Amino acid sequence: MSAVLSASDHGELTRSNDRDWWRQAVVYQVYPRSFADADGDGIGDLRGILSRADYLAALGVDAVWLSPFYPSELADGGYDVADYRDVDPRLGTLADFDELVAALHERGIRIVVDIVPNHTSDKHEWFQEALASGRGSAARERYIFREGTGPDGSEPPTDWTAAFGGSAWERVADGQWYLHSFAIEQPDLDWNHPEVREDFLRTLRFWSDRGVDGFRIDVAHMLTKDLRDPLPSAAELAAMPIDGTHPLLDRDDVHEIYAEWRRLFDSYDPPRTAVAEAWVATDRVPKYASPESLGQSFNFDLLRAGFDAAQFREIVTDNMSLAARSGSSSTWVLSNHDVFRHATRYALPLIEETDESVPNRHGGGWLEAGADETVIDRAGGVRRARAASMFLLGLPGSAYLYQGEELGLHEVAEIPANQRQDPTFFRTHQAQYGRDGCRVPLPWTRSGSSFGFGAGGAHLPQPSWFADSSVQAEEEDPSSTLSLYRRAIALRHELVADEDLEWVETGRDDVLHFRRPNGWEIVTVFGPMPFGLAPDSARRVVLSSAAIDGHLVPGETTVWLAGG
Ligand code: GLC
């Protein structure tokens, strides 16, 4: 047995003596506005999460990561933060937050909050002050203001595009332009400014003092920028290597900030943890994950891969060696609030190997807006998603789960244009659906208002098929995805031991088999054909799809064989 809390140990956390709780934690991401709505206004809230604390405990997760719950105009789903040290009144109060922390801690669940340091909301008091104070003012120096180009300065300073489409610059009333790498309502901060640095330290202390156990750092690779004139064009930027010297991305000097944050985190007992959301080349990840920096970094490789044995094996091998190099543990992610749910990615038709830029397996593609949804193989997608999730939960390192994946939820594609919220949809002139489909409020009950999400409606429309994927329906069914996740997470506390694995050759290209140091074995069949196991099936403790005869593992299925 490992020293990690087991699902049945839901007593008060022995918090001071477990500095390494995060290394192999199951972390469950809650998108607060879509989890549970206690006050019936259609928007999920902190008391809603509180009301589901027992659900989280029954799932057996080690930690909950809350996406932003701060005051926000919701130009980007809460990642446009107007005040970093408060709760959005629609979501509750600081007192509700304290109650939630206490309720989770009582159940042995840690809490991680999201910090968004690259940009504020345009409603943040600093940006309002910058607008009111005018060009050349000290208030503008906290952001990135520049004069425009063209005879009257009416052209943006450069031709850079924002992540959600359109220009990365926006003009203000007096004619200056400001940089926004994301939505117009998300002005980028200037991290050379000492007040910016000081204020984020204050924010990290504020939440640490309130009992938060860790932080997820939003776009951690973009904070520092070299914006000396002349600014390069988009084409010039694209041609520059991203090797620590790029003007905008993954600059080496960003780690000075994290070294300072690390000193703050380590002043707490146990030290506060942090995980970087850094979309950087795999070999640059260790910089963010080192103990002197944030300590852990997301690895999005599985999330970007197809459902394919060769890709999965290479990703696991590479990332484990990277984690070992940095002194961190590996992280595994299949879904989050920014991507199509993996059940749906794996439900899309196979992509042939003709285009080398996309994986040739289920999961390589995305559903374009207006695409023919009848091509989605819903049952197949869920079967593969269950197999992939059980593969992931068997790996050494931390598993990051996204709310609803434990129900095997599909992406919701059927959202009318006038109810969509994601800026991606609008800034791409509706060419891309964006991320609303994975943010639809969760179904808790088979029927009733908003499927038990709350007493009112749901801020994004829920489809009728949510009934059968509701928590209520799945709790009654021992073969449901929820039952599978509960069982696997409870057992995972027995299989986590040393952060190591050994591959066992299977003789088949589409089957992966690995053994953990304590003897637990995980076998995943990626192809449709069953795979014969050695005749010790008594050790089968988790099977991601319906059993077939004898010692066969069905196609597109993962099995766990208990150790010893
Ligand atoms: C991160 C978040 C995403 C957000 C973006 C800008 O990628 O995960 O939801 O839109 O940062 O803050």
Q: Residues 424, 353: contact at Cβ < 8 Å?
A: no
How far is it, in rounded angstroms, from Cα 315 to Cα 299? Answer: 9
pLDDT tier, 7 (very low <50, low <70, confident <90, very high otherwise): very low
CA of 67 to the centre of ligand 1 (A): 10
| Ligand 1, pocket-test mutation among 74, 219, 303, 336, most atoms within 8 A of CB | 219
| Model pLDDT, residue 362 | 54
| Ligand 1, pocket-test mutation among 338, 421, 427, most atoms within 8 A of CB | 338
Average pLDDT over residues 168-196: 98
CA of 447 to the centre of ligand 1 (A): 32
| Model pLDDT, residue 372 | 63
pLDDT tier, 3 (very low <50, low <70, confident <90, very high otherwise): very low
Q: For a pLDDT cut of 90, what percent of the chain falls above it?
A: 82
- For ligand 1, what atom is nearest to the CA of residue 116? 12
- Give per-residue pLDDT as tens, 484-505: 999 999 999 888 878 999 999 9
| Model pLDDT, residue 493 | 86
Single pTM value for the model: 0.94
- For ligand 1, what atom is nearest to the CA of residue 118? 12
- For ligand 1, what atom is nearest to the CA of residue 337? 9
Residue nearest (by alpha carbon) to ligand 1 atom 9:
338
Average pLDDT over residues 196-214: 98
Say if residue 160's pLDDT is above 60. yes
Q: Residues 522, 503: contact at Cβ < 8 Å?
A: no
- Give per-residue pLDDT as tens, 94-145: 999 999 999 999 999 999 999 999 999 999 999 999 999 999 999 999 999 9
- Give per-residue pLDDT as tens, 121-131: 999 999 999 99
- Give per-residue pLDDT as tens, 24-67: 999 999 999 999 999 999 999 999 999 999 999 999 999 999 99
| SS3 state at 154 | coil
CA of 422 to the centre of ligand 1 (A): 11
CA of 538 to the centre of ligand 1 (A): 45
Residue nearest (by alpha carbon) to ligand 1 atom 2:
218
CA of 77 to the centre of ligand 1 (A): 9
Top pLDDT among 272 and 19 is at 272
- Give per-residue pLDDT as tens, 336-395: 999 999 999 998 876 554 444 434 345 545 555 556 666 788 999 999 999 999 999 999
| Model pLDDT, residue 413 | 86
| Model pLDDT, residue 537 | 57
Q: Residues 367, 348: contact at Cβ < 8 Å?
A: yes
Per the prediction, the chain carries an average pLDDT of 92
- For ligand 1, what atom is nearest to the CA of residue 435? 9
| Model pLDDT, residue 14 | 47
CA of 405 to the centre of ligand 1 (A): 19
Q: Residues 226, 240: contact at Cβ < 8 Å?
A: no
CA of 219 to the centre of ligand 1 (A): 7
Residue nearest (by alpha carbon) to ligand 1 atom 12:
79
Say if residue 538's pLDDT is above 80. no
CA of 27 to the centre of ligand 1 (A): 18
| Model pLDDT, residue 432 | 82
- For ligand 1, what atom is nearest to the CA of residue 181? 6
Average pLDDT over residues 298-313: 93
| Ligand 1, pocket-test mutation among 29, 65, 73, 76, most atoms within 8 A of CB | 76
How far is it, in rounded angstroms, from Cα 292 to Cα 208? Answer: 18
Residues ≥6 apart with Cβ < 8 Å to 382 = 343, 347, 408, 410, 481
The residue written with tokens 């939505």 in the block is: 183
* Three-state SS letters, 121-146: CCCCHHHHHHHHHCCCCHHHHHECEE
Q: For a pLDDT cut of 70, what percent of the chain falls above it?
A: 92
How many other CB atoms are there within 10 angstroms of residue 264's CB atom? 16
Average pLDDT over residues 299-304: 91
Q: Residues 539, 560: contact at Cβ < 8 Å?
A: no
CA of 181 to the centre of ligand 1 (A): 10
| Model pLDDT, residue 550 | 72
pLDDT tier, 539 (very low <50, low <70, confident <90, very high otherwise): confident
- For ligand 1, what atom is nearest to the CA of residue 79? 12
| Model pLDDT, residue 431 | 81
Residue nearest (by alpha carbon) to ligand 1 atom 4:
79
- Give per-residue pLDDT as tens, 59-92: 999 999 999 999 999 999 999 999 999 999 999 9
CA of 18 to the centre of ligand 1 (A): 30
- Residues framing ligand 1 (Cβ under 6 A): 76, 79, 116, 182, 218-219, 277, 337-338
How many other CB atoms are there within 10 angstroms of residue 230's CB atom? 8
CA of 162 to the centre of ligand 1 (A): 12
Helices (H), 210-300: 234-239, 254-266, 285-289
- For ligand 1, what atom is nearest to the CA of residue 279? 7
pLDDT tier, 230 (very low <50, low <70, confident <90, very high otherwise): very high
Average pLDDT over residues 236-248: 97
- For ligand 1, what atom is nearest to the CA of residue 119? 12
Structure tokens at 236: 């010039």
Helices (H), 292-350: 301-304, 309-326, 342-345
CA of 278 to the centre of ligand 1 (A): 11
User: Dihedral of CA 532/537/542/548: which sign?
Assistant: positive
CA of 180 to the centre of ligand 1 (A): 13
Say if residue 415's pLDDT is above 60. yes
| Model pLDDT, residue 359 | 40
Residue nearest (by alpha carbon) to ligand 1 atom 7:
219
